């Protein structure tokens, strides 16, 4: 359930200070924010089955995502990775198995931070101004004026403060996706699911968006789950990469490369090669 | 904002009126020279004179007022029912299965063919005209409202649900605004049908109104008044269209197709 956690929170200050008050400070060496940052939700999946009209998509999948972690799921088209994401978000119901999304210990049940998803398409309301589109992310939370104020802050965070009064049709594809990101983040979610959100963008815009997502994730400490078929995107962003095959997790890799990560880093390239080999079925010891 | 319109803008505004103006000039010339008989086709100046007389006696305003009232009443009743049923059938499968087939059957009956029946039912009273206008206006509003709701992007609806919109909020913020462009198309069709139906109904059975004014003028061979009535229909049609366009521009400013068109 997406519960009202935000109405009792003060309106966040400038972008750089937007971290839960007790979150660990960003380390200078660029280490990932340690798992267990208060706001992140943890996800536990046990024996998950999902079938569409008798065709199994997921068969007996087990998975645990630590709170505050950044996990990428890669796999061929149709391997069930998007279905897994939609199941965790509660957009589909499992055929069998259990999914538990848990707030950090000590959070009152009503105050659990919400889960949000960013789709491949921006899915903005064409008839609402940019700032009102972001305020959709606060549906049911607080007053109208309060929602607008926070939406404006979220726009600033993604660098689109000056577009607040525009119609979505006047924005470029990358800008629209940034508005969608602001909408997903404005309610300060505990879990952000990203369903190939950058697939439709050109290469340079995509790299800019990846940096933006990483920066905001490190500042806010939510749990991030990225579904992508771009392996280089997965290794650039994630702490952990899961390769899904035939409805199960076939490969589970940690990415221990420190952040900020340099594009073209040899460790990342090696990892990317390994995952690609696995996906393409080149014989190689895993 | 309030600066004078530039010559280019004036020229733009004048272009649509060039053809009507040329026709008027040609018409006046043809009658004045004697190419066309004054008894069959009065010159524009004669029509203007007839209009002036009708305004002076108050006939024009009375009849125009009565016709407008009838048109609007029929429009509100028929359009209201069409809109409501279009919404209901767009939002509920059950409602659509129950009523859409019947509506589609009735739709293919030309509504003006009901005039003899309507006269039998209601005589030549106000109900007859209200009924016919309402019936004529109903279908375009119904069909376009339904189509508008049907063609809403399901991805947007899913987005609204993910963000926790209630059913009312989903309707108000996603479904209705998304259906609006299509509803406006229906509105414009309906306005045209509204005048058409009313004038036909008034021509056949009425004791007041614009259509009646034209019929009476025909009996007394007042060709100028007949032409005057026809010109008024043209102006009313244009007026309704202009109002709808302004409404569209105000409500659909988000849509690049309507922005400062």
Q: Quick one: average pLDDT of B97-117?
A: 90
SS3 for A46? Answer: strand
pLDDT band of residue B4 (cuts 50, 70, 90) is: low
B256 reaches A (C-beta below 8 A): yes
CA distance readout (Å), B146 to A131, B97, B253: 30, 13, 22
What's the pLDDT tens digit per position in B197-240? Answer: 988 888 887 788 888 888 888 888 888 898 898 888 888 888 88
Q: Which of B162, B173, B174 sits opposite A91 (nearest CB)?
A: B162
Tell me if B259 is assigned to some domain.
no
In chain A, the residue whose alpha carbon lies closest to the alpha carbon of B152 is A125
Predicted pLDDT of residue A1: 39
Chain B residues within 8 A of A137 when measuring between CB atoms? 163
Cβ-defined contact of B173 to A167 (cutoff 8 Å): no
Looking at the DSSP bridge assignments, the partners of residue A102 are A42
Phi/psi for B39 (5° steps) reads -80, -25
Predicted pLDDT of residue B151: 93
Tell me if B62 is assigned to some domain.
yes
Cβ-defined contact of B173 to A121 (cutoff 8 Å): no
Compute the count of residue pairs across chains A and B with CB atoms less than 8 Å apart: 48
Please say if the pLDDT value at position A4 is more than 70: no
Predicted pLDDT of residue B203: 83
Predicted pLDDT of residue B259: 66
The maximal CA–CA distance of chain A, rounded, in angstroms, is 59
Rounded distance, CA B260 to CA A138, Å? 32
Chain B residues within 8 A of A139 when measuring between CB atoms? 163-165, 169
Please say if the pLDDT value at position B260 is more than 90: no
Residues 6+ apart with CB under 8 A from A122: A168, A173, A176, A177, A179, A180
Chain A residues within 8 A of B180 when measuring between CB atoms? 127
pLDDT band of residue A260 (cuts 50, 70, 90) is: confident
Q: Helices then strands (H, E): number in chain B?
A: 12, 0
Rounded distance, CA B63 to CA B233, Å? 12
pLDDT band of residue A285 (cuts 50, 70, 90) is: very low
Contact of A218 with A259, CB cutoff 8 Å? yes
Predicted pLDDT of residue A30: 35
Predicted pLDDT of residue A171: 94
Residues 6+ apart with CB under 8 A from B68: none
Shortest Cα distance from A258 to chain B (angstroms)? 34
When divided into structural domains, chain B yields a total of 1
Tell me if B52 is assigned to some domain.
no
Contact of B145 with B87, CB cutoff 8 Å? yes
Residues 6+ apart with CB under 8 A from B142: B81, B82, B83, B85, B86, B103, B186
Cβ-defined contact of B173 to A126 (cutoff 8 Å): no
Please say if the pLDDT value at position A56 is more than 70: yes
Interface test with A, best of B153, B162, B165 (most A CBs within 10 A): B162
Please say if the pLDDT value at position A15 is more than 80: no
Rounded distance, CA A247 to CA A79, Å? 6
Tell me if B7 is assigned to some domain.
no
Predicted pLDDT of residue A144: 85
Q: Look up the ipTM and state it.
A: 0.77
Please say if the pLDDT value at position B156 is more than 80: yes
Site of tokens 């509003």: B141
Neighbours of B75 (CB within 10 A): 26
Tell me if B154 is assigned to some domain.
yes
Share of chain B above pLDDT 90, in %: 43
Q: Angle B96-B101-B103 (CA atoms, 0-180°, nearest 5)?
A: 90
Tell me if B37 is assigned to some domain.
no
Predicted pLDDT of residue B3: 63
B164 reaches A (C-beta below 8 A): yes
Tell me if B22 is assigned to some domain.
no
Tell me if B24 is assigned to some domain.
no
Continuous segment of H or E residues that includes residue B102: helix B93-107
Domain range for B62: 58-251
The maximal CA–CA distance of chain B, rounded, in angstroms, is 75
Q: Is the peptide bond prior to A176 cis by the omega test (within 30 degrees of 0)?
A: no
Predicted pLDDT of residue A22: 41
Dihedral of CA B178/A124/B169/A86: which sign?
positive
Predicted pLDDT of residue B219: 87
Q: Quick one: average pLDDT of B3-17?
A: 82
Rounded distance, CA B23 to CA B16, Å? 13
Q: Angle B87-B88-B94 (CA atoms, 0-180°, nearest 5)?
A: 145
The CATH number that applies at residue B71 is: 1.10.3720.10
Cβ-defined contact of A136 to B160 (cutoff 8 Å): yes
In chain A, the residue whose alpha carbon lies closest to the alpha carbon of B252 is A127
Residues 6+ apart with CB under 8 A from B69: none
**To the nearest 10°, the Cα dihedral for B180, B182, B183, B185?**
130
DSSP B175: I
Chain B residues within 8 A of A140 when measuring between CB atoms? 164, 166
Contact of B149 with B175, CB cutoff 8 Å? yes
Predicted pLDDT of residue B37: 83
Contact of A119 with A195, CB cutoff 8 Å? yes
Sheet containing strand A70-74, edge to edge, reads A115-118, A191-195, A223-227, A70-74, A240-245, A248-254
Predicted pLDDT of residue B1: 47
Rounded distance, CA A81 to CA A226, Å? 10
Rounded distance, CA A4 to CA B71, Å? 50
Cβ-defined contact of B163 to A123 (cutoff 8 Å): no
Contact of A209 with A201, CB cutoff 8 Å? yes
What's the pLDDT tens digit per position in A73-103? Answer: 998 888 888 899 999 998 899 999 999 998 8
Cβ-defined contact of A121 to B155 (cutoff 8 Å): yes
Mean pLDDT score of chain A: 83
SS3 for B152? Answer: coil
Contact of B43 with B28, CB cutoff 8 Å? yes
Predicted pLDDT of residue A8: 33
Residues 6+ apart with CB under 8 A from B206: B124, B129, B212
Q: Quick one: average pLDDT of A46-72?
A: 91
Share of chain A above pLDDT 70, in %: 85
CA distance readout (Å), A215 to A187, A219, A253: 17, 6, 22
DSSP B173: I
Rounded distance, CA B48 to CA A77, Å? 73
Please say if the pLDDT value at position B83 is more than 90: yes
């Amino acid at each position: 359930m997406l519960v009202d956690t935000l109405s009792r929170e003060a309106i966040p200050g400038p972008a750089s200070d937007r971290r839960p008050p007790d979150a660990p400070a960003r380390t200078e060496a660029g280490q990932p924010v340690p798992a267990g940052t208060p706001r992140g939700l943890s996800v536990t999946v046990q024996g998950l089955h999902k079938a569409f009209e008798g065709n199994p998509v997921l068969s007996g999948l087990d998975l645990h995502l630590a709170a505050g972690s950044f996990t990428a799921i890669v796999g061929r088209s149709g391997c069930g990775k998007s279905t897994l994401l939609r199941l965790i978000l509660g957009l589909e119901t499992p055929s069998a198995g259990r999914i538990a999304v848990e707030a950090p210990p000590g959070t009152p049940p009503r105050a659990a931070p919400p889960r949000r998803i960013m789709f491949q398409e921006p899915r903005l309301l064409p008839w609402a101004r940019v700032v009102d589109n972001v305020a959709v992310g606060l549906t049911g939370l607080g007053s109208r004026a309060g929602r607008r104020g926070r939406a404006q802050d979220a726009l600033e965070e993604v660098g689109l403060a000056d577009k607040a009064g525009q119609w979505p049709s006047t924005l470029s594809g990358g800008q629209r996706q940034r508005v969608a990101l602001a909408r997903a983040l404005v309610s300060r979610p505990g879990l952000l699911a990203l369903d190939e959100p950058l697939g439709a963008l050109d290469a340079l815009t995509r790299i800019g968006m990846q940096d933006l997502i990483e920066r905001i994730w490190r500042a806010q400490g939510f749990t991030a789950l990225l579904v992508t078929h771009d392996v280089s995107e997965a290794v650039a962003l994630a702490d952990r990469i899961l390769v899904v095959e035939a409805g199960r997790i076939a490969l589970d890799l940690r990415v221990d490369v420190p952040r900020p990560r340099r594009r073209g880093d040899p460790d990342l390239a090696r990892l990317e090669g390994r995952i690609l080999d696995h996906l393409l079925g080149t014989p190689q010891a895993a | 904002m309030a600066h004078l319109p530039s010559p280019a803008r004036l020229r733009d505004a004048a272009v649509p009126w060039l053809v009507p103006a040329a026709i008027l000039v040609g018409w006046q010339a043809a009658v004045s020279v004697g190419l066309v008989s004054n008894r069959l086709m009065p010159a524009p100046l004669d029509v203007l004179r007839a209009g002036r007389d009708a305004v002076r006696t108050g006939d024009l305003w009375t009849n125009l007022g009565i016709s407008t009232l009838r048109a609007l009443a029929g429009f509100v009743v028929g359009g209201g029912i069409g809109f409501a049923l279009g919404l209901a059938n767009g939002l509920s499968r059950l409602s659509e299965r129950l009523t859409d087939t019947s509506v589609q059957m009735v739709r293919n009956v030309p509504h003006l063919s009901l005039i003899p029946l309507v006269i039998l039912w209601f005589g030549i009273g106000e109900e007859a005209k209200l009924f016919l206008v309402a019936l004529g206006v109903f279908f375009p509003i119904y069909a376009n409202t339904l189509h508008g709701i049907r063609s809403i992007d399901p991805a947007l609806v899913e987005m609204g649900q993910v963000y926790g919109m209630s059913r009312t909020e989903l309707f108000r913020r996603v479904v209705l605004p998304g259906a609006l462009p299509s509803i406006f198309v229906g509105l414009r069709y309906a306005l045209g049908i509204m005048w058409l139906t009313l004038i036909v109904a008034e021509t056949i059975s009425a004791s007041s109104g614009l259509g009646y004014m034209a019929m009476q003028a025909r009996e007394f061979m007042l060709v100028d008044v007949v032409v005057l009535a026809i010109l008024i229909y043209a102006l009313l049609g244009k007026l309704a269209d202009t109002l709808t366009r302004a409404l569209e521009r105000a409500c659909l400013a988000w849509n690049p197709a309507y922005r400062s068109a």
